[in-house]
A = this chain, B = another copy of it.
Amino acid sequence: MAPTTPSRAQAAPADAEQRPDLRELAAALEGTPVEQGLRERKKRARRAALIDAAQLLVAEHGLDAVTVEMISAEAGVSARTFFNYFESKDDAVLGAEDTSLSEDVVRTFVEGGPTGRLLSDLQALVASLLTPHAEAHDRVRRAMDLMQQEPRLLQRHVIWMDRHKSRLVELFEARRATTPFSTDNELLTMLVLLLIRTALVAWEHAGYAGNPADHLPSAVAQLIDVVALDVDA
């Protein structure tokens, strides 16, 4: 399943001198075969190795029992280098990716599409967010598992939300120009968060089958239900 470090979980900590190079090389060759320079490939490989090491160690010993020194050692780099790649230990454990919205999805949304109905279009927006490159699914899955055990990591969504909130608000404002609506930006942002989280949790409950975005329609349907129950009665 995992493209990197498929086996050898524990092994002795002493003989960890030459393995990293092997792993990096393997990952660099396997992950991105023919692309850019060696520098770039090593960068990706190191990053992946750090995430893998972090998730592996945390799954085994718990978040607080794992130090960045352990992670760095396991990945074969210095502790200082770790912080060249991640802002914090948590970021590494979560494998924080820069999931940004694609151009055309943004354009469609801003122009009032694809359906013209706000909620459905939000759903489409979120769907594109929840459909990362297949290779990342594994890390997201492990991150979800770890989040259950370590509530502190739940912040991830909020951090993500916070980083992209201004971007989202821009989108909302832009769409407003062509397709007016009265909902506050804050509520819409929270709605996006709600959809993301609900879909991810549903995906987890389903045993990580298929794509997280597959569970979005159900989330939206439930939301409609809740509101309908209030309006009808």
List A residues at the B interface (Cβ < 8 Å): 116-120, 151-152, 154-155, 157-159, 162, 181-184, 186-188, 190-191, 193-194, 197-198, 201-202, 219, 222-231, 233
Question: Of the candidates B152, B186, B190, B228, which one forms a contact with A231 in the assembled complex, judged by CB atoms under 8 Å apart?
Answer: B228
Q: Is the CB of B230 within 8 A of A224?
A: yes
A contact face: mostly helix, strand, loop, or mixed: helix
Give CA–CA (A225, B226) in the complex, Å: 13
Nearest 6 CB-CB pairings of A with B: A119-B230, A190-B194, A227-B227, A155-B155, A117-B230, A186-B201
A181 to B233, CA, bound (A): 14
Given known A-B contacts A162-B151, A193-B190, A181 and B223 have beta carbons under 8 A apart: no
Q: How distant is the Cα of A201 from the Cα of B158 in the complex, in angstroms?
A: 16
Residue of A162, A222, A224 with most partner-chain B CB within 10 A = A222
